[in-house]
Amino acid sequence: MTHPVRGLQRALIVSAVAVLAVACNGTTTTPTTTPTTTPSAPPPASTSPTAAGTASPASGGAACAPTDLALVSGGWSAAAGSRGADVSVENRGATACTLPAGPAVAILDASGTQLLESPPTDAPGPSLEPGAVATFTVLFSNWCDEAAALPLHVALRDGNAAIPVPDLDLTVDDLPPCNGPGQPPALSANPWEPVSG
């Protein structure tokens, strides 16, 4: 007579072997075919950004010549120990041109020697059509140099050129206060505002 427990053990072993065989067979199966087509790379962009000052239809043309730009300022205003001013730049040339990157501004002494420049930036300048205007804001603070030859002048930097900004000359009464003796002065310019005109 067959013992019922032994029969059950044999049935369990056979079942386990069958399950194991199926499981092993399922994990070792891999597709043997590859797709006949592969996705293609996206087409290259039709335009690419260009550095300010290079000729390109997308950027509006070559760099603006300093002689084509008219700068206007409303003068300095005081703000929390600093001096701030809004500056407008108009393209008075005959063709569209690209403003300098930044903008970058500098402080010059009475003899025209540069004393300070705003931090450089890679942001390209906007394109200006003839008659169009772009604006930016200058912020100047912590002036402690009592030996500088006054008045100080503000200029828009355009490569090696410095374009004077009218109505921003600084006399002793206009200078920002020295709030951090021994610390360097700070000069910055906000990015170009949207073009108008």
**Whole-angstrom Cα distance, residue 157 to residue 161?**
6
Asked if residue 28 is part of any domain, the answer here is no
Task: Tell whether 26 is covered by a domain.
Answer: no
**Quick one: tokens of 25?**
């067979």
Q: In terms of C-beta density within 10 A (0-12 exposed, 13-18 middle, 19 or more buried), how is residue 52 classed? A: buried
pLDDT-wise least confident of 8-12, 97-101, 128-132, 143-147: 8-12
For residue 65, is pLDDT > 70? Answer: yes
The CATH number of residue 131's host domain is 2.60.40
Tally the domains of the chain: 1
State the Cα–Cα distance between residues 93 and 101, nearest whole angstrom: 19
Q: Determine if residue 195 is left, alpha or beta; phi over 0 gives left, psi from -120 to 50 gives alpha, anything else beta.
A: beta
Range of the domain at 169: 66-189
Q: Is residue 6 part of a domain?
A: no
Q: Residue 197 has what pLDDT?
A: 67
What is the arithmetic mean of pLDDT over 12-18?
A: 37
- Find out whether 69 and 126 touch, Cβ atoms under 8 Å: no
Nearest partner of 159 among 77, 97, 82, 103, judged by Cα: 103
* Best CA proximity match to 165, nearest among 191, 137, 194: 137
Q: How far apart are the first and last CA of the chain?
A: 107
Q: What is the pLDDT of residue 134?
A: 96
Q: What is the pLDDT of residue 50?
A: 31
Query: Tell me, what's the pLDDT at 182?
Result: 94
Q: Is 102 helix (H, G, I), strand (E, B) or coil?
A: coil
- Do the domain assignments include residue 146? yes
Residue 41 lies in a domain: no
In the predicted structure, residue 30 carries a pLDDT above the cut 80: no
**Within a domain: residue 50?**
no
Report the Cα 42 to chain-centroid distance in Å: 26
Question: Residues of the chain with pLDDT > 70: what percent?
Answer: 69
183 domain residue, yes or no: yes
The 10s digit of each residue's pLDDT in 105-161 is: 999 999 999 999 999 887 789 999 999 999 999 999 999 999 999 999 999 998 888
**Looking at this protein, which amino acid is placed at residue 169?**
D
Share of the chain above pLDDT 90, in %: 58
How much is the pTM?
Answer: 0.68
Residue 29 domain-assigned? no
CB 91 within 8 A of CB 131: yes
